[in-house]
Amino acid sequence: MGNTKKIRVLAAKPGLDGHDRGIKVVALALMNSGMEVVYTGLRQTPTQIVESAVQEDVDVIAMSILSGAHDYLFPKVMELLKEKGVTDMLVLGGGIIPDEDIPALKEAGIAEVFGPGTTTTDIVSYIEHHANIQ
């Protein structure tokens, strides 16, 4: 373990859907792998998510949506981050997200999208490799 600083992750539920099984399982897996996780709870607006991310000084934002509102909400979060001048956060998305939507989300700055069937091991390892820790 070369890293002395722990990776800090904001686990967030943007939008209105209450499906939090996925994000909670992922959050528990990240915690068990040694990361520090702050969970926002349900129904977070993009503004709230960005504020929490800045306030908590996280390295990673992991968002989950299962309602289909990702096409509006994920890019909105990226837009607000840019407005705040935050450019070094790793932002990830998960949930029920059709393949054909992924290119546009990546275009908007979402680094990776994890769909149903992804293992938590894969997510942990992705974050360990890509998080931008100073």
Contact residues for another protein, defined by CB under 8 A: 11, 15-21, 24-25, 27-29, 31, 37, 39, 41-43, 45, 67-69, 71-73, 96, 98-100, 115-117, 119-121
Longest dimension (CA), the chain: 39
**CA-CA distance, 52 to 92, in Å (whole number)?**
16
Least Cβ distance, residue 39 to another protein (angstroms): 4
Question: Is the CB of 16 or the CB of 132 nearer to another protein?
Answer: 16
Q: Which residues contact 8 (CB under 8 A, 6 or more apart)?
A: 35, 36, 37, 38, 56, 57, 58, 59, 60
Question: Is the CB of 11 or the CB of 105 nearer to another protein?
Answer: 11
Least Cβ distance, residue 68 to another protein (angstroms): 4
Least Cβ distance, residue 70 to another protein (angstroms): 8
What are the strands, taking DSSP E only, across 1-134? 8-12, 36-39, 60-65, 90-95, 112-114
Least Cβ distance, residue 49 to another protein (angstroms): 13
Question: Is the CB of 41 or the CB of 132 nearer to another protein?
Answer: 41
Structure tokens at 118: 């992804």
